[in-house]
Structure 1
Amino acid sequence: MAAAVVLAVCSFPPGVNARQESDEARRVREAITVFGEIMAAEDKAIPRAIVGRAEGIAIFPSTIRAGFIVGGMRGRGIISARNEGRWSAPAFLTLTGGSFGLQIGGQAADLILVITNRRGLENLVANQFKLGADAAVAAGPVGRDAQAATDLQLRAEILSYSRSRGLFAGVTVNGSTVRQDRDANERFYGKRLETRQIIFGPAPGAPTPVPLWLDVLGRYAR
């Protein structure tokens, strides 16, 4: 399954190659790869009990972690929300500051945020949102432990995960600021759109590779 996801992500539309593709489209493709690969490893994946009830999923591929033990982060990602059983088109976000887990200078990691309730989602798509301050954030469980997933969901509005050098685990994220990336939204959709308009409003036009992103969300987080 993971191989199929990667193959689909690496396939470009006729007349388009990787060099011609926009930064925003690449960001979506990278998020597809990250989520598809993680969820395909069921014994080490985010439990289906979590993603199946998630209100939103945000992925920041190749987030740069600076410093050792305590350091800042810098990343760009996307978020989609579940509306009446359907996943929205992605909106673009940036992530700065804060830290998570044991860090080695300059190391990149994929960061995944699973939003468990509507309040957490509303907070996350505000103009500026600080993880751990504006909503309860906890390291998410991995694997098939549905009971642990349920217990954590009762306490946290956002569950956080990190994948680095092939290792995937729940991580504690503190102090990072998430902001709307309005410029990326405009470049991708061709008009000025707020994050709320994209994930809560009528679906905007879906540039490539949005259908692939919605497909992988539907496959693992239905």
Structure 2
Amino acid sequence: MVTYNIGTGLVVARRDDGSWSTPSAISSFGLGWGTQVGGELTDFIVVLRTKDAVKTFSGDAHLSAGAGVSAAIGVVGRAAEANLRAGNGGYAACYTYSCSKGAFVGCSLEGSIVTTRTRENCRFYGRQSISAPDILLGTLPSPPAAAILYHALSDMYQKLDG
């Protein structure tokens, strides 16, 4: 069965000193093929384990190809994916974890295009022009509006380390 996905989100990178980068807005559209049935709403966490992965997300757009397994019943659901991403920011392997809800079970091969939402980033940071590398690899001060995000990331990171 052929499926599609569409969405928006944020990307943050963990810096060498343990702090988090400022968030960069992204959007995604993709297609999948595999044994799947149902529908689900999913929140993804993409793990950028290397500088190359961060640079890949710092480009204007990149392609993602990989495989995943997913299941959801009601408000309980999980998915795991592994993929390779390549674009004008470079290429890197990434791992994706998620929480889902709906009625869905499936295993598929996936492909998607991920783009930086430059207009949203400019609006959020109050600048005429700002690039994803400025946001993810630069030294912008942490925006107060992202305090809840940073707190949630710190809590999650402590649970993973513990």
Q: How does 1:94-105 map to 2 (within 5 A)?
A: 94-99=27-32, 102-104=36-38
Q: How does 1:26-45 map to 2 (within 5 A)?
A: none
Give the aligned partner of residue 73 of structure 2.
Answer: none
Q: Check conservation: 1:138, 1:160, Cα contact below 8 A.
A: no
Shift of 1:195: 1.1
Q: How does 1:1-222 map to 2 (within 5 A)?
A: 69-84=1-16, 85-99=18-32, 102-104=36-38, 107-132=40-65, 137=66, 139=68, 157-165=93-101, 174-191=110-127, 192-204=129-141, 206-208=143-145, 210-221=146-157
* Structure 2 unaligned spans of 5+: 70-81, 83-91
Q: Residue type matched to 2:134 in 1?
A: Q
Shift of 1:76: 0.6
* Structure 1 unaligned spans of 5+: 1-68, 141-151
Runs of 4+ in 1 over 6 A off after TM superposition: none
Q: Check conservation: 2:21, 2:142, Cα contact below 8 A.
A: no
Return the structure number with greater relative CO, CA threshold 8 A, min gap 6. Answer: 2
Is the alpha carbon distance of 1:129 and 1:207 closer, same or farther for their aligned partners in structure 2, counting shifts above 3 Å?
same
Q: Check conservation: 1:74, 1:96, Cα contact below 8 A.
A: yes
Determine the C-alpha separation between the residues in 1 that align with 2:50 and 2:24: 18
SS state at 1:111 partner: strand
Q: Check conservation: 1:139, 1:159, Cα contact below 8 A.
A: no
Give the aligned partner of residue 74 of structure 2.
Answer: none
**Percentage of matched positions with identical amino acids:** 26
Question: TM-score, normalised on structure 1?
Answer: 0.51
Determine the C-alpha separation between the residues in 1 that align with 2:117 and 2:8: 8
- Higher helix fraction (1 or 2): 1
Question: TM-score, normalised on structure 2?
Answer: 0.68
- Higher strand fraction (1 or 2): 2
Q: Deviations over 1:92-142 (max 9, x none)?
A: 00101223762536x43223211222222212221111112xxxx5659xx
Aligned length: 134
Is the alpha carbon distance of 1:100 and 1:204 closer, same or farther for their aligned partners in structure 2, counting shifts above 3 Å?
farther
